Amino acid sequence: MDPSGLNRPIVVPPGGGTTLDFLAITHKLTGPQTGGALCIFESSFEAGTGNRLHVHRREDEIAYVLEGALEVRLLDETLTLEAGGLARLPRNLAHAIRNPLTTTSRYLFLAVPAGLDA
């Protein structure tokens, strides 16, 4: 990690960032921009979709719901987060996230250190 990336301001305007259309992800801050310290992306899940149970070995994650809701599955527990809700998902913790609604849900995702943006 190069801490020099943390010592300079970065401004990303609304609609800014690098979009990966095939994943519906917009990288707002990337590892190279932050010296490897973190990455932030905005994404969405269509109604009833999400990801499978998985583990990140390097990154701690934070999911913040911008619009709609997300179900966060943690081992044997499932929590529902509505807009404005946040979940911290430490590395090595198996988890899955899905949209339980009939409309699209949007969220902001932070990973520390960066790496999920690679």
Domains of the chain: which residue ranges? 3-112
Mark the ranges of the chain whose per-residue pLDDT is less than 50: none
- Which structure tokens are listed for 48? 């009833």
| Among the listed residues 59, 60, 62, 94, the one whose alpha carbon sits nearest the alpha carbon of residue 78 | 94
Please answer whether residues 84 and 110 qualify as being in contact, where contact means their C-beta atoms are separated by less than 8 angstroms: no
Q: What is the pLDDT of residue 76?
A: 86
pTM of the entire structure?
0.89
Identity of residue 76: D
- The three-point CA angle 97-101-102 to 5° equals 135
Which residues on neighbouring strands pair with residue 93, listed in sequence order? none
- Which structure tokens are listed for 115? 């790496």
Q: Which CATH class is domain 3-112?
A: mainly beta
Please answer whether residues 113 and 37 qualify as being in contact, where contact means their C-beta atoms are separated by less than 8 angstroms: yes
Q: What is the pLDDT of residue 4?
A: 60
Question: Within a 13 Å sphere around the CA of 45, how many CA atoms are in the beta-carbon half?
Answer: 24
